[in-house]
Chains A and B, each alone.
Chain A
């Protein structure tokens, strides 16, 4: 029995040592909090970054852009992630470092190829005051089925801020947990309309917004209005390891490649 215990102890000690190889090495930890829409991109970037930059570790928290901005203003994190532009009411002394852009597209079923939607029309449809496709130019008729995201989603947040203005979202909207599910619902429902990131527009009809088609090119050129910026916000200009990291995110080709998978790169 005592021998068994010793063996177990030795084995577990060995496993611990193997599993956590570099506890002793001092690391700079960059903490980030904020936007849930930026978080997946930030996580992908950080994963690639630590492969080539051994001395840096990341800690990523989420909680909405406003949480990130307030956190960084109070020095609770190194970087606050934000998917909204700076506001005049933001605390002074913050630097918004733009890292990428993301287009939010309006999608309908292929059987219902509405041409263009103005912002007033989008607000009418998603606030529930327009309930029939007959009232929409080029609409094929029939009751409108609204498909959107859950309140916890960053795309929901962006949609409210960019497209809805002061209009209130209808409570009849079906809330899906992911871009892919919104896409699938609109794909199979001739009466559906939804909003998704640009990367999720295969197999559905993409409507123009205020006369501009939702394409990567229009998003890049800035003509398409449904584009939001992704920022990494710092308190004052970034320094040291943080500055190196943000520079890498903005300029390094590897980083740009990661951005280009689902988002609009800066370059």
Chain B
């Protein structure tokens, strides 16, 4: 044992090779996963072509037809127009990240610049704790409290009746989904932005103060500006979490593959929406039906690609910002 730990065994060269091998394993795993998912998903894309991403027909009926495919491989049904789910994914993550970002920014400025010391000492750990709460917990609160509240007290009987033949407003809605998702992604953003604001050199804001600028203006024009790359990083991380959120959204936002229509005015917020990840969770039971499993893998492939593009977009957005500010952590 002593021999294994002695300096002679673990030369820098050996350590470098060993750790390098470990790091390469990660790359290999990711590559293998992408190849596997795409190989599994291919028949679904191949049969539908670009129409896969379009709308048309009822997506739940299409999923049911795929599930009920005859057992003969030549007769497998693949027809699917996944637009309502793609739209729901974009809509929910978009709303949650934009609302969350505004809130996180203001909250972080308060914690770093304005909060009295005792309050800051409570706030910061609380935010970090919130960031670590498992999403099922949020889902449970949503389904036991918020969904019945919205369904029974916020949505009126006349609203329900007005769209009764198109969609049912039972509380599982865009509003509840986006609200809970916002609460879920905000703490991470606060934590990242707090760290970034704190890393702004003191001299910069002190310089501004010396010129007679008040604290709020100095923070807004100097600290927040300098922290922009970190703010982008926070938004990217939050979007990634929102995109992949499945269980919670399956519970509170969507049980129907419906595309909420902004033209419906207020009703828009009470209409259900089921994003891709939630669809995967809801339908995992049918994975062993070959064409249905391939369709589920197609959802997974779209999620994989979108998170890849998200990283790229974050990187591209940060590059010009870095010239003015601090590097993102």
Contacts and interface: CB of A to CB of B under 8 A. Distances in A.
A71 interface: yes
B148 A189 contact: yes
Most buried by B among A66, A142, A177: A177
A64 B68 contact: yes
Interface residues of B, number: 45
Nearest to A3: B3
A171 interface: yes
Given A1-B9, A174-B168, A175-B255, A151 B64 contact: yes
Given A142-B157, A142-B160, 13 more contacts: A128-B165, A132-B164, A143-B160, A151-B68, A151-B286, A152-B67, A152-B292, A171-B58, A175-B60, A177-B250, A181-B251, A188-B143, A192-B170
Contacts, number: 118
Contacts of A144: 164, 168
A61 B9 CA distance: 50
Nearest to A69: B71
A147 B58 CA distance: 17
Interface residues of A, number: 40
Query: What are the 3 closest A-B residue pairs judged by CB atoms, nearest first?
Result: A152-B286, A151-B64, A174-B255
B22 interface: no
Interface stretch (B25-33, B42-50, B225-233, B277-285): B277-285
Contact of B67 (A145, A151, A177, A184): A151
Nearest to A7: B4
B170 A151 contact: no
Binding site of B, secondary structure by majority: helix, strand, loop or mixed? helix
21 contacts: A3-B3, A36-B285, A63-B289, A67-B289, A142-B157, A143-B164, A146-B168, A147-B255, A151-B68, A152-B67, A152-B284, A152-B286, A153-B285, A172-B168, A174-B255, A174-B256, A181-B143, A181-B251, A184-B144, A189-B152, A190-B152
A165 to B, nearest CB: 17
A223 interface: no
B305 to A, nearest CB: 24
Nearest to A129: B165
A184 B152 CA distance: 14
B172 interface: yes
Contacts of B290: 63
B167 interface: yes
A174 B172 contact: yes
B151 interface: yes
Contacts of B71: 63, 66-67, 70-71
Nearest to A73: B71
Nearest to A148: B255
A24 interface: no
B166 interface: yes
Nearest to A141: B157
Nearest to B278: A177
Interface of B: 3-4, 9, 14, 58, 60-61, 63-64, 67-68, 70-71, 143-144, 147-148, 151-152, 157, 160-161, 164-168, 170-172, 250-251, 255-256, 272, 281-286, 288-290, 292
B71 to A, nearest CB: 4
A71 B290 CA distance: 14
A184 B143 contact: yes
Interface string A134-169: 000000001111110011110000000000000000
A54 to B, nearest CB: 28
A36 B170 contact: no
A176 B202 CA distance: 54
A71 B14 CA distance: 55
Contact of B151 (A36, A146, A189): A189
Contacts of B251: 181
Given A143-B160, A189-B151, A150 B283 contact: yes
Given A36-B286, A175-B256, A151 B151 contact: no
Contact of A64 (B67, B166, B171, B281): B67
B324 to A, nearest CB: 48
Most buried by A among B14, B64, B166, B292: B64
Interface string A175-209: 11100010011001111100000000000000000
A184 B172 CA distance: 12
Contacts of A62: 286, 288-289
Given A63-B288, A188-B148, A150 B282 contact: yes
Contacts of B161: 131-132, 143
A260 interface: no
B10 to A, nearest CB: 10
Contacts of B284: 152
Contacts of B63: 150-152
Contact of A145 (B68, B165, B170, B283): B170
A150 B60 CA distance: 8
A192 B255 CA distance: 14
B165 A131 contact: yes
A173 interface: yes
Contacts of B168: 143-146, 172-174
A173 B283 contact: no
A188 B167 CA distance: 19
